[in-house]
Amino acid sequence: MSVVEIVDHPLIQHKISLLRDRNTGTKEFRDLVSEIAMLLCYEATRDLPTEEVEVETPVALARTKVLAGRKLALVPILRAGLGMVDGMLNLIPAAKVGHIGMYRNEETLVPVEYYCKLPNDINEREVFVLDPMLATGGSACDAIGQIKKRGAKHIKFIGLVAAPQGLKALHEAHPDVDIYVGALDEKLNDNGYIVPGLGDAGDRIFGTK
Q: Specify burial of residue 39 (Cβ count, 10 A radius: 0-12, 13-18, 19+).
A: middle
152 annotated ligand binder:
no
As a whole number of Å, the end-to-end CA separation of the chain is 41
Q: To the nearest whole angstrom, how small is the minimum distance from the Cβ of residue 194 to ligand PRP?
A: 8
Interface with ligand URA (CB under 6 A), residue from 135, 140, 147, 162: 135
Burial letters for 130-162: b for 16+ Cβ neighbours within 10 Å, e otherwise?
Answer: bbbbbbbbbbbbbbbebbbeeebebbbbbbbbb
20 annotated ligand binder:
no
Q: Which of the choices ligand URA, ligand PRP, none does residue 197 contact, using the CB cut-off of 5 to 8 A by kind?
A: ligand URA
Q: Residue 161 half-sphere exposure, CB side, CA atoms within 13 Å?
A: 24
**Residue 202 engages ligand PRP in binding (rule: CB under 6 A):** yes
Active site residue 150: no
Helix axes 10-20, 26-44, angle to 10 degrees: 150
Interface with ligand PRP (CB under 6 A), residue from 83, 166, 182, 197: 166
Q: To the nearest whole angstrom, how small is the minimum distance from the Cβ of residue 142 to ligand PRP?
A: 8
Annotated binding site: 79, 104, 131-139, 194, 199-201
The footprint of ligand URA (CB under 6 A) covers: 80, 133, 135, 192-194, 197, 200-202
Residues labelled catalytic: 104, 108, 200, 203
